[in-house]
Structures are given as structure tokens and as C-alpha cells.
Structure 1
Amino acid sequence: MSITLADARVVTPGGVHEGWITIEDGRFTHIGHGRAPRDGHSLAGRHVVPGFVDIHTHGGAGGSFPSGDQEEARRIAAFHARHGTTTIMASLVTAALPDLARATSALADLCDDGLLAGIHFEGPYIARSRCGAHNPALLRDPSTAELADLLKAGRGHVRMLTLAPELPGGLDTVRAAVSEGVIAALGHSDSTYDQARAAIDAGCTVATHLYNALPPLHHRDPGPMAALLQDERVTVELINDGVHVHPAMVGLAHGVAGTGRTALITDAMGATGMGDGVYRLGSMEVEVSGGTARLVEGGAIAGSTLTMDVAFRRTVERVGLPIAEASVMASLTPARVLGVDDRVGSIAVGKDADLVVLDDDLTVHSVMRRGAWLG
């Protein structure tokens, strides 16, 4: 099957050009400038960006990945796909080890099917002082033996582990994760600047939702954020929903790390796409009011109700970055983190035909995944 999308404003990492795209058998085969050489499906001058890649998502549409329910997981993936996320990783939260293993095993089936791009453990190896919406009663010191059991349950599909490397056993667990091909991410941590640098040297390459659940920057005590932002080996995640991070701080992180090391994420939980009310995130009860999710007890921010199209649009409109740079942050940079940028993350010949067509106000007009339009 072949289709040509004509009269488009094609967004690539190098910029935006007026042109056309041909797709055959689910892949991009030609990307041209100007008028298409043959009749095609006119996009009437709309922007076309690569499908978004979300490496940190807990749920949506009333469903939760931590539940391990496969039907919920399918509903979550379908919901976020309608908002442009064509590659999604399932993020779990702190739970008892048997529950984590059970959910991991169930979600691994959906990774086998290609619905999910992997599984992310956010906890239980995080700092009590920075646990946020994680259940403090279930936190544990890092253990390479426990991690090995969890990885076995994931059958090769566990792609990321967020932990506090300053905890006993933290650096050994970082090394063990990396040796098994798992991305080690520093997050929910009270580490010092030096401890963060040691973690990076041990193999940490991602900062889980930078600024949130980390010590603040201070000119005499720079803490982990300075180490994470400065090191070329680290990609920093940002939740650009206007609740977690001020637009100026998004701009600051981008100014230091650049588009190649700054990844937009949603950190979305089950209430995303739903109304205000009471929901669950793992074992914790969450109240959503005005679109902001907070724990019923204690009031800590508990994930978001963000979708990636909104994060992308806010990056252009509120942060002031060019569309091409915001696109890299929402697609190519997270794809590089996952190691799938050879297949997704940009509009390039040979890659999967994952794309999002945007109206003039940068809202989603239509979404294509692997050459098929989504309903």
C-alpha cells in the first residue's frame, strides 16, 4: 500500500519545509520539497510532526499501567495514541515486589505484541524524603538480587529503572541494571552533587522528571540537578504541564541541555482524559481537581493529567521554542533514550510511518501509526 501526503509543512530535526511525504508498507519512502510529483492526499498546509514518544506514562482514560490489567493497558495506549503518542513505555510505581513482578509479567505480553515499547520501574528503590506520591511503607533499599528477579519477570522488556543512587546498594544496582541493558535513571533522590556524579559515572543516563522530587538548585549546594544538567551523558525529562515546572525552568533546562538532551514526558496517571474526581495511582488514593492530581493524604503532586500533544504545544507557545525543536524533545530525544531512534522519532526515509498532523493552532488533526490512520 502506498500513500502520498501532499501540501504539508513537514517538520524534521533540521527545520520545517513545505513539501510531501510518500509512505509504502508502513514506512517513509520519500520526503520531498515543494509540490508532490503525483496526486496525493492534501493536508492543506498543515504541520506534520513525527509521532510522539513518551518514556514516562502511568495511565490514562481511567486505566493504570501499575494495575497490570492488559485491557486497561490497551485502553491507555489507544487513548494516548489519539493524542499523538505512537510509541509509549509503561511506567509502574512503588509496590510490593510480588505485585511488581505480576504487573511486569502481564505488561511484557503487550511488549511482545508491539503495543508497548517497554516497562519502566519508578521505585521502589527511591528516597523516603523525596517519595512524592509513592507509598513510603513500600520503599526498599536497592537490591541487585531483587532487580534480577524483576527483570526475569519482564522477559527482556524492562527498559528503565528510576532509583535514588545514594541509598545503600544504589551504585551496585545502577551497574547491574546497565549491564542488563536497562536504562538507569536518577530520580526521587536526595543525592548530593558528588553522589549524582558518581551515579552518572556508574551508568545513570536519565534524570527522572527533572526538578520534581529532587533537591532544589542552590549556589553553594548545587545538588543533583547541576550534575544532571551539565553532563553530556544525561538526558533530562520534563513534565511541561504548567503545574510541575514553570515555563521559565523548562527554558532553563533546554538552554543548558539543548534539544538533544531534553525529553518531554507526560507522567500521566489514570485520570488523564477523565474528569475531576478520586482515582488511584498504585496503592495511593489521588484526588484530581481542576486537572491537577494530588494525594488525598498529604497533598503531594501525584503524576499529571497531561497528554503529549499539550506538552508539545506548551513548549512552542509558553516556552517559546521553535516547532522543530519542540518536536525533537517530544519524539527524537526520547526515542534515542530508548534506543529506537533507528525506527521512530523523526520523519526520515526508512523509519516507521508514525506521524501527527496538526492544525494551525497545533491541536491534533489526525494520527498515523505504521502507515495506518488511527480512528
Structure 2
Amino acid sequence: MKVCLHNGTILNGISQMENCAVYFDGDTITDVFSEKRFEEKKFDSDTQIIDVHGSFIAPGLIDTHIHGFMGHGTDKCSTDGILSMARDLAQYGVTAFNPTIYPAPEEEMLKTIRQIVAAKKEQEHCHNKEGKSVARAVCGAHIMGIHLEGPFISPEKLGVQRPETVKPVDLDLMDRLWEASEGTIVNMTVAPELKHMRHLALNCIQKGIVLQAGHTNARYENMVEGMQAGILHTTHFFNAMSQMHHRDPGAVGAVLIHNEMTCEIIADGKHVHPDLFKLLIKDKTPDNIILITDALTPTEQKNGPLFANGEEVLFKDGCFHRKEDDVIAGSALTMIQGVKNLINFGMNRSEAIKCATVNPAKIMNYRKKGLLIPGYDSDIIVFDNNFNLQITAISGNLVKRI
């Protein structure tokens, strides 16, 4: 499919360019040009020309930490459920994501991993009811790979995770998880202070896994040792980690002090106080921040009881709370709302988009994603000034259009 989106403002994570157009042919962006050039340009007769009427054109959003969406997710995981999750996310502007797995008994983790791998394979070879090959985009947002949020994390910083599922570093277990994933584990949350973490880090880095410090009670020196071992990214910064103290900067202080550390952030205004974003933006700069949702399975679910991690939850004050004790159970954020929130918290539009596109693609080593430039994947969104999503294109296919 050949498509030209014109009369828009391009947000490519680097700058904001008004009166521009983006042309893509199939799954690749082939040209980005001014509206003046659009008026002079000759298009093939089969090109679909779409006037976006001044709306913003941006790369598709990439969520590297998400557990579920609209009733489907990695808890009670199934291949069909993950594919449904991918299709639903596309309607909210997400064009690539990492299904994220909590720690669980080994057999349960292995089963979940295999279901996600099967979904990824099926997505890459989608077929319609007649058995004819159809565009990969029909299956929704690209399943990029798996994020393991454990099991090698601190029992002292569990959040709502089950204590019996947390394990000491076990290289044999890591190899079994990797084998089940068929090489699709992309990123992994670990606690740097655990014994033998340096050996695990070497094992994972050799496999190309991005290591993230999270669910950690690390002292400052543990974090520095982790950085030296290659743990250079952070899981939901500020949350479930040792806080800063003047005698021990802890995990939070280490991330703020060391420029090489990058961080995820849940920008819902609930998990992290809005005013803390002023410090975060000033210290880390938007170049080193990844917007994530950490969304739970019932996020945007319209009907029925809400369940996450095997227990009933209630939607309250913008996030999920456990029904039994009212403790915050997790996020209900969407990526497009997160971008809007980042702007409200102090970023400009280009910076906020960068945190949801350029940065995750760079840190996760996703080539040809995250920018609107020739040669990159035609994963694109269009939204108005109020962040109402109008178009989602995945691999050049218009999977959402209003």
C-alpha cells in the first residue's frame, strides 16, 4: 500500500516540523518532505493521499513494559490473548511492545514464554479465514520480544509480586528460560545486589538481553557494581527500589548521579509525583528516559469484573487497587495519555514523543523503528492537538483511521 500523509506537523523525536508530508510504500518510509514539495510531487495512481488537516504525525509508540490490555495479558497467558492484546494496543497508537512477565513457578513461566513465542510467530505469518497470507499488521502492534520482570529480584522490594516466586541467581534456570523463549527475551529486570549477579549479567549480555535494575534494595555500591557489569537501564524508576539517603544514595541516587544510566518511568502522576518529573527531566534529560505504561490486564477493559495477577482489582484514582486491602496493584496508563502527561509535567511535544519512540528503540536496539526518516519502518500515528488518535499505520497498513 502506497500512502502519503500530508498537511501535518511532524514530531520525529528530534524536532517539530510544520507543513510536512510523509510518504510510505508498504512497510518502509520512502520520503519525508515539505507541503510545497507535496504540491509539486507526482504520485502513482494507486497512492492513497490523506490530508491530516494540521494534525501531528509521529512514529508509532513503543511500550517496553506492559503486562496486559483490555482483558488480555501475560497472566493466564494464551497465544490468542497476546494477539488480541496486540490488536487492541494498535487502536491506542502502540505499534510495538514487549509483553512483560512477572515471576512465577518455573513451569508457569516457561508456559507463558512459549505462548508469547507462538503469538510472535503467528503474527509474522498471519492468515485470514480463506488461508491467504495477509499483512502482518492485521495482527496489530509488533510483538518485539519478552520482558522478564524477575525472577532474580529482591524479596524486600516485591511490590505486589508473590514472594514465593522470587529466586536467587540461577544460571541454569536462566538458560532454560532463554531456551523456551527461542532467543526472544529482549530485556530483564534484576536486583544488582544479588549474589552471583555479575555472572548472570555476563550470561545475559552475551545473549543480547538489556538488563534493568529494578525491584531492588541495592546500596549505592551495589548499583555501581551493577553498572560495571552492564546493568545500565532501570525499571519503573523511583518505584520498588531503595530510595536516596544522604548516607547511602541507594538505587535512586545512583541513577541520578550516573549519566550512563537510563530509566523507565510510569507517567500517570500516581506512581511518581508530577513535581518529581522536574528533577528527572533536569537530571537525566529527555534523552535518557523511556515512557512505559506497566499496564495491567484490565487496562481499558469496558465490562465485567477486573482481574490482574490472579486477584480482583478495582479502578480507583487513575490506577488499579487490590480489592482486598486497597493497595495499589498497578498502572492503568495508556502510552498516548503518558505522552500527554509528560508534556503537562514539563517536556515539550518532541521530547515527550522521543521518550515513547526514539529512546525505547535505541535502548532496546530496535533497528529502523522510532523515527520518521526514509528507510525506517512505516509504523506511524496521527493525533490532534488534544492527543485524540486519528490514524495508526503498522507496516504501512492503516489499522486505525477516524
- Provide the residue aligned with 2:139 in structure 1: none
3-state SS of paired residue (1:351): coil
1:281 Cα deviation after fit: 3.1
Between 151-160 and 228-237, report the one with greater CA deviation: 228-237
1:331 aligns with 2:357: yes
Distance, in Å, in 2 between the alignment partners of 1:144 and 1:356 is 41
Q: Aligned to 2:241, what secondary structure does the other structure show? A: coil
Aligned residue for 1:270, secondary structure, equals coil
Report matched runs for 1:244-283 at 5 Å. Answer: 244-275=271-302, 278-283=305-310
What amino acid sits opposite 2:399 in the alignment? L
Answering whether residue 315 of structure 2 is matched by residue 306 of structure 1, we say no
Once residues 173 and 281 of structure 1 are traced to their aligned partners in structure 2, the CA distance between those partners, rounded to angstroms, is 29
**Gap change, CA 1:160 and 1:194, over 3 Å in 2:** same
Confirm or deny that 1:142 pairs with 2:169: yes
Residue number in structure 2 paired with 1:351: 376
Structure 1 letter corresponding to 2:32: I
Structure 2 SS opposite 1:49: strand
**TM-score normalised per structure 1:** 0.95
> Are the structure 2 counterparts of residues 277 and 289 from structure 1 closer, same or farther at C-alpha, using a change threshold of 3 Å?
farther
Deviation readout 1:326-348 (Å, 9 max, x if unpaired): 111011101112101x3111111
Partner of 1:292 in structure 2? 319
Residue range with higher mean Cα deviation, 122-131 or 207-216: 122-131
Q: Secondary structure at the match of 1:74?
A: helix
Aligned 8 A contact 1:276 1:287 in 2: no
Q: What's the TM-score, normalizing by structure 2? A: 0.88
Q: How do 1:29-48 and structure 2 match up within 5 A?
A: 29-35=30-36, 36=38, 37-38=40-41, 40-48=49-57
**Contact 1:134–1:284 (Cα < 8 Å) also in 2:** no
CA distance change for structure 1 residues 366 and 57 in 2, over 3 Å: closer, same or farther? same
Match of 2:134 in 1: none
Structure 1: 4+ residue segments shifted above 6 A: none
Does the CA-based 8 Å contact 1:135-1:283 persist in structure 2?
Answer: no
SS of equivalent to 1:210: coil
User: Counterpart amino acid of 2:371?
Assistant: S
Instruction: Answer yes or no: is the 8 Å Cα contact 2:75–2:310 preserved in 1.
Output: no
Contact between 2:314 and 2:320, CA under 8 Å: does it hold in 1?
yes
Is 1:152 aligned with 2:170?
no
> Which of the numbers 80, 88, 92 marks the counterpart of 1:71?
80
Partner amino acid for 1:10?
A: I
- Residue 172 of structure 1 deviates from its aligned partner by 2.0
| Distance in 1 between residues matched to 2:288 and 2:247, nearest whole Å | 25
Partner of 1:243: 270
Encode CA deviations 1:286-322: one digit per residue, 9 max, x unaligned. 3333442123455442221111000001111x21211
Aligned to 2:23: 22
Q: Aligned-pair distance for 1:32?
A: 0.9
Is 1:232 paired with 2:232?
A: no
CA contact (8 A) 1:160 1:185 kept: yes
Q: Partner letter of residue 361 of structure 2?
A: A
Q: Does structure 1 residue 373 correspond to structure 2 residue 398?
A: yes
Check if 1:85 corresponds to 2:110. Answer: no
Tell me whether 1:62 sits opposite 2:71 in the alignment: yes
Aligned pairs (5 A) from 1:75-224: 75-112=84-121, 113-114=123-124, 115-224=142-251
Task: Give the SS at the match of 1:224.
Answer: helix
Q: Give the C-alpha shift of residue 231 in structure 1.
A: 2.6
Structure 2 SS opposite 1:362 = coil
How far apart are residue 251 of structure 1 and its match? 2.8
Paired residue total: 373
Alpha carbons 1:277, 1:288 under 8 Å: kept: no
Identity fraction in percent: 25
Offset, 1:111: 2.6
Which structure: larger Rg? Answer: 2
